[in-house]
């Protein structure tokens, strides 16, 4: 009876991934690995040290760090007396690690790992509940704004390597906080109003103002004063000059400090050839509580803004405007100090891998459901009915290629027919074709296949080459 009940229970299980998650296989994983390699290569170029932290943290480590978004944290059940939660991002675990390792005074760190948020998913637009982030951070005491400029340079290098045209929106939390103070926002409502302003990239000003006034209790005249400023955006140097000339705003100490930072940043960005990729946007707020200085968000450019050298498939992509920001970050000088007595200034950026994947995936024109392999050479044999299929010889050739680091496959059949082998070699660039007579003379045939289009002349059995030179010749063609 118990057995039949167990079978019944199993048969009623719904076969699906949990909400906001997906399986990854074949070409999708290949593309994602390409993103990982590209991003990590840039991180290493800038002296990044890899770090890995647990996928879950003590709940107290994560609480009161994310503002209104704290509701999206995945809490776990009590396991052995510890209350834990799945990590929401990679920044807070990094700060916790810094607080624990007091011997670290300066570090450039990077991490590529999964994070978890109980958000409403939109998988087609790259928004999931389980997703990867790629973080690069610079921690420690440096001269002001030099690390900030380097992180912005890292962003540009990553997206140039991925062949994505981007723009960076930049703001400063002290300028924003000072702006709120000048407008008349009470201190206890600064973060609430900041969170509302941060929605201006998705909602019109009238909706944001309504949220401030009706939901968060801000006087209408205060909201109007905020609206005067948060609509400002454009060239970093021009907006900076405009704010410096505003006597009411620049008289605030927080605004003064923020403007000083931005003034220092300008020549550094010019030297690093980043200045023309940056737009000063006073509506950018970044809702997380731990930001303390420069903040930024990266968007792909609309197709109309792509330069003349951009590929046609990039200009025709309609997803760029739907996925939202594909990287973001900022300065968080006070976060490490929340875990101990030793404060440590930090600046960093987080790349949204799944959103980047969504855009690149749309551009590669992949046929849905087609699985491809990353194989360089397919080893096959030909011969009459009386041959033994040359399985051992195919294995030996494959081993020779594997030993040289070349990706190779052969048919897992004792006697494989040549047409079936050619069919199995679809999407593989090269074939090594062996026969008894050629092997007796120490020769094999090396053939260039039909570039994955399935159209190859089976009568053309390739060029005869020495088996001893096989690896050299294959590498030349690859």
Query: What CATH number corresponds to the domain at position 461?
Result: 3.40.50.800
Same domain for 348 and 385, yes or no, is no
Same domain for 326 and 402, yes or no, is no
Same domain for 351 and 381, yes or no, is no
Domain-embedded: residue 454: yes
pLDDT of residue 259: 96
Q: How confident is the model at residue 302 (pLDDT cuts 50, 70, 90)?
A: low
Greatest alpha-carbon span in the chain: 95
Same domain for 301 and 450, yes or no, is no
* Count of Cβ atoms closer than 10 Å to residue 389 Cβ: 15
Residue 97 contacts residue 105 (beta carbons within 8 Å): no
Same domain for 285 and 342, yes or no, is yes
pLDDT of residue 313: 42
Q: Rounded to an integer, what distance in angstroms lies between the CA atom of residue 101 and that of residue 139?
A: 12
Computed over every residue of the chain, the mean pLDDT equals 87
Tokens of 434: 């062996």
Residue 384 contacts residue 158 (beta carbons within 8 Å): no
Which residue segment(s) compose the domain that 247 sits in? 14-364
Residue 259 contacts residue 250 (beta carbons within 8 Å): yes
Domain-embedded: residue 218: yes
Percent of the chain beyond pLDDT 70? 87
Least confident residue range of 5-19, 119-133, 335-349: 5-19
Least confident residue range of 218-222, 264-268, 426-430: 426-430
How many domains does one find in the chain?
2
* Count of Cβ atoms closer than 10 Å to residue 250 Cβ: 16
Domain-embedded: residue 470: yes
- Model confidence pLDDT, tens digit, residues 189-213: 888 888 889 888 888 999 999 999 9
Which is it for the CA torsion 332, 336, 339, 343, positive or negative?
A: negative
Q: Rounded to an integer, what distance in angstroms lies between the CA atom of residue 439 and that of residue 392?
A: 12
pLDDT of residue 120: 85
Domain-embedded: residue 8: no
Q: How confident is the model at residue 8 (pLDDT cuts 50, 70, 90)?
A: very low
Least confident residue range of 104-113, 194-203, 267-276, 290-299: 194-203
Q: How confident is the model at residue 453 (pLDDT cuts 50, 70, 90)?
A: very low
- Which position has the token pair 């879950």? 56
Query: What CATH number corresponds to the domain at position 146?
Result: 3.30.930.10
Kindly state the average pLDDT of the residues 137-162: 97
Residues in the chain: 478
Q: How confident is the model at residue 11 (pLDDT cuts 50, 70, 90)?
A: low
pLDDT of residue 311: 43
Kindly state the average pLDDT of the residues 393-409: 94
Domain-embedded: residue 266: yes
Same domain for 338 and 428, yes or no, is no
- Model confidence pLDDT, tens digit, residues 257-284: 999 999 999 999 999 999 999 999 999 9
pLDDT of residue 409: 94
Domain-embedded: residue 382: yes
Kindly state the average pLDDT of the residues 281-304: 84
Residue 372 contacts residue 429 (beta carbons within 8 Å): no
Q: Which residues of 264-299 are buried (b: 16+ CB within 10 A; e: fewer)?
A: ebbebbeeeebbebbbbbbbbbbbbbbbbbbbbbbb
- Model confidence pLDDT, tens digit, residues 66-97: 877 888 999 998 878 899 999 999 999 999 99
Kindly state the average pLDDT of the residues 214-243: 93
Same domain for 286 and 386, yes or no, is no
pTM (global) more than 0.75: yes
Domain-embedded: residue 239: yes
Same domain for 391 and 350, yes or no, is no
Kindly state the average pLDDT of the residues 230-242: 94
């Amino acid at each position: 009876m118990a057995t039949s009940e167990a079978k019944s229970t199993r048969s009623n299980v719904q076969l699906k991934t949990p909400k906001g998650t997906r399986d990854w296989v074949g070409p999708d994983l290949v593309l994602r690995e390409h993103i990982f390699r590209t991003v990590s290569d840039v991180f290493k170029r800038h002296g990044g040290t890899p770090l890995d932290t647990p996928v879950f943290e003590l709940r107290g480590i994560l609480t009161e760090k994310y503002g209104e978004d704290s509701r999206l944290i995945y809490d776990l059940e009590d396991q052995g007396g510890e209350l834990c939660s799945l990590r929401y991002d990679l920044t807070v675990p990094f700060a916790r690690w810094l607080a624990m390792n007091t011997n670290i005074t300066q570090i450039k760190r990077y991490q590529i790992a999964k994070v978890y948020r109980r958000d409403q998913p939109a998988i087609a637009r790259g928004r999931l509940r389980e997703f990867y982030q790629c973080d690069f951070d610079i921690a420690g005491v440096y001269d002001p704004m030099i690390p900030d400029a380097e992180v912005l340079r890292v962003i540009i290098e990553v997206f140039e390597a991925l062949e994505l045209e981007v723009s960076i929106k930049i703001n400063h939390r002290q300028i924003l906080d000072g702006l709120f103070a000048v407008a008349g926002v009470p201190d206890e409502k600064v973060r609430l109003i900041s969170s509302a302003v941060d929605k201006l990239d998705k909602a019109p000003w009238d909706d944001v103002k309504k949220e401030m006034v009706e939901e968060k209790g801000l006087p209408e005249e205060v909201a109007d004063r905020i609206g005067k400023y948060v609509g400002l955006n454009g060239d970093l140097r021009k907006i900076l000059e405009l704010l410096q000339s505003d006597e009411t705003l620049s008289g605030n100490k927080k605004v003064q400090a923020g403007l000083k930072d931005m003034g220092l940043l300008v020549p550094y960005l010019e030297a690093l050839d980043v200045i023309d990729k940056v737009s000063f946007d006073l509506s950018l707020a970044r809702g997380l509580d731990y930001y303390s200085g420069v903040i930024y968000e990266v968007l792909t450019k609309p197709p109309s803004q792509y330069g003349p050298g951009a590929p046609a498939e990039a200009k025709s992509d309609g997803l760029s405007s739907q996925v939202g920001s594909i990287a973001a970050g900022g300065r968080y000088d006070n976060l490490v100090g929340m875990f101990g007595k030793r404060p440590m200034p930090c600046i960093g950026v987080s790349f949204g891998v799944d959103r980047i994947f969504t855009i690149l995936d749309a551009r590669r024109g992949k046929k849905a459901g087609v699985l491809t392999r990353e194989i360089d050479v397919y080893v096959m044999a030909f011969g009459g009915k009386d041959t033994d299929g040359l399985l051992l010889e195919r294995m030996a050739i494959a081993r020779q290629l594997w030993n040289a680091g070349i990706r190779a496959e052969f048919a897992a059949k004792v006697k494989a027919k040549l047409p079936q082998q050619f069919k199995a070699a679809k999407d593989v660039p090269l074939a090594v074709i062996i026969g008894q007579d050629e092997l007796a003379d120490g020769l094999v045939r090396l053939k260039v296949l039909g570039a994955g289009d399935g159209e190859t002349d089976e009568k053309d059995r390739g060029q005869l080459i020495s088996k001893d030179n096989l690896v050299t010749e294959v590498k030349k063609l690859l």
